[in-house]
Structure 1
């Protein structure tokens, strides 16, 4: 299903009223009395805090498929304890957005992106080269780009409004935002989910290098996993065999996410003004990697 509308304006959906659009998702609430919210994943792709053109073909459906699979695993299909999530059981999205939408509970969303890093790369690698730390957490000497960390680390970020940069913060700063008890719960949940997901990925020949989670409190005050989870947009996945055999960072970090987009944009844009349009080849390669990841994970 190619979704040209997903990268343009929000859809007119009977029974639902559009209330917000983020970088990738559109949010709707019932237009009459009703419970829940509708989250629709578009084909939009973002990098360096900008939404790019054109979108990635079928990306909304691919991300939703992967999120639903992971929600099921974390609900206990992997043998672990059930992690509460925001899906409304038995609810069906409108036909116009079938396959790329979820009906979810209304939550009191926490103002923190819960980032877990198991490997050194990206902005973490850039900081490590300067100070031998990642988000202020001291790490051993001698690590290189793509190395596995001695243990996964939790590096929260403050969720910025659309168009602004998310801000890496310390755990102590997250305590200042949500309180010690809630900050500790967010950290511990994030590390638990990462460990479970990384083990599942490893069994499929994949490395989950890092990821980010979002949580909200439900009507009963239960911390609930929300938004997307462990998708190609919110996570870095690498091919485990390539990582073991690779001699250079590029060879080691054969990616199944939007790194193709990031790399192309970094080489063709100085981060000033409007980003250039993505070439068709970059769009096609990115979509193919998204599909390949789903195939490897779900079989």
Structure 2
């Protein structure tokens, strides 16, 4: 069995000698442009874990969570940012649903009027809402390498036609449910990445984190206007700072990304907290 996804931002370790579950712990580290930054975002691991758990409760899809509290065995040292989860045989695919055009999808659209091979109408801009959400998978890369956007046909060649169709349907189901919930709270869910695996009983199961500021684009619905970058509650703020002149970083130089200034760290944390509070209606302590 392959364990739930592990990255430098998330550790996956055996749990209490059991072979059927693992302990998944989210750290405060943050990545951008396929690099793990030296800076950390305070409370990020807690925010992402608690927001994921809230979303798991809103969705009607099987997920990998087994236990979340100290009483159920989560070590006190990582309580609040850890989950005991079932081991899953993970699909080597990042399942992405897009309801709006931006990011790498916009870059491809500007070249070919397609996203992952799916044709889109002329006249769309950065931030344009699509007529209906689209499924645009990517192939997982090793840590530090670029994930590769692929067509649905390439995905089916990799994992099989039936599983590919199931993942597409589940991804769009998750997006549709979450987009509605977010919109009711004044937030646009522009796109999101989810990951699935198969549990020991053969059930396709939602794993990893879900619908967080690290895996999704959240925009302020009151400020949304196509044609430019949107006001966001996610790590796009970090990407924008790194790509801008203030960072002094040349992405093409292969030099490591610079540390984030204190004000960028603070503003990023504030965006994550606001996303959590606006979506859940809870106060983050």
TM-score, normalisation: structure 1: 0.87
Are 2:113 and 1:121 equivalent residues in the alignment?
no
Change (3 A) 1:33 1:150: closer
The total of aligned residue pairs comes to 270
Cross-structure match for 1:286: 268
Q: CA deviation at 1:270?
A: 1.5
If asked which structure has higher relative contact order (CA below 8 Å, sep 6+), I would say: 2
Matches of 1:20 and 1:218 in 2, distance apart?
14
Matches of 1:142 and 1:284 in 2, distance apart?
37
| 3-state SS, counterpart of residue 190 of structure 1 | helix
Deviations 1:223-281 (A, max 9, x none): 000000000000000010100xx47513xx11000011000011132212111111111
Q: CA deviation at 1:136?
A: 1.3
Q: Report if aligned partners of 2:125, 2:227 keep a CA contact under 8 Å in 1.
A: no
Which of 134, 152, 156 in structure 2 is aligned with 1:171? 152
Change (3 A) 1:145 1:247: closer
Matches of 2:102 and 2:18 in 1, distance apart?
47
Matches of 1:21 and 1:135 in 2, distance apart?
26
| 3-state SS, counterpart of residue 223 of structure 2 | helix
Cross-structure match for 1:259: 236
Matches of 2:91 and 2:73 in 1, distance apart?
26
Gaps of 5+ in 1: 1-18, 75-81
Change (3 A) 1:190 1:33: closer
Change (3 A) 1:20 1:87: closer
Gaps of 5+ in 2: none
Change (3 A) 1:87 1:292: same
Which of 72, 76, 81 in structure 2 is aligned with 1:95? 76
Matches of 2:271 and 2:5 in 1, distance apart?
29
Cross-structure match for 1:79: none
Which of 24, 36, 40 in structure 1 is aligned with 2:9? 24
Q: CA deviation at 1:21?
A: 5.1
Q: Report if aligned partners of 1:20, 1:28 keep a CA contact under 8 Å in 2.
A: no
| 3-state SS, counterpart of residue 52 of structure 1 | strand
Cross-structure match for 1:86: 64
